Amino acid sequence: MMPATKQSRPRSFVAKRSVVIAGHRTSVSLEEPFWEALKEIAAGRKQPIAELIASIDAERAGNNLSSAIRVTVLQHYRTRASSN
């Protein structure tokens, strides 16, 4: 099997991005669909992604930030699905 190239990488490729939380730069590694979901959630709340991530960071209870973001995204879409 040939190694994945940039063009052929699956959408679940993990992307590492830098964000500033409470004045400190940190990096967050998430699969691309989670980054896309964060953009959608932030747009719906009319807030920057960094602000959304900062609120997730402030509310997490010991989980690492990437895990807390994934759980938040899951909860968002579960809530949205149950209200339909």
Question: Would you kindly state where each structural domain of the chain is located, as residue ranges?
Answer: 17-82
| pLDDT digit string, tens, across residues 2-37 | 455 555 555 568 999 999 988 999 999 999 999 999
pLDDT of residue 61: 83
Which residues partner with 18 through β-bridges?
27
More confident call, 9 vs 44: 44
69 forms bridges with which residues in the sheet?
none
**What is the torsion angle, in degrees rounded to the nearest 10, for the CA atoms of residue 27, residue 72, residue 30 and residue 13?**
-170
pLDDT of res. 7 = 58
Strand ranges for 4-55 from DSSP E = 14-21, 24-31
Rounded Cα–Cα distance for residues 65 and 63 (Å): 6
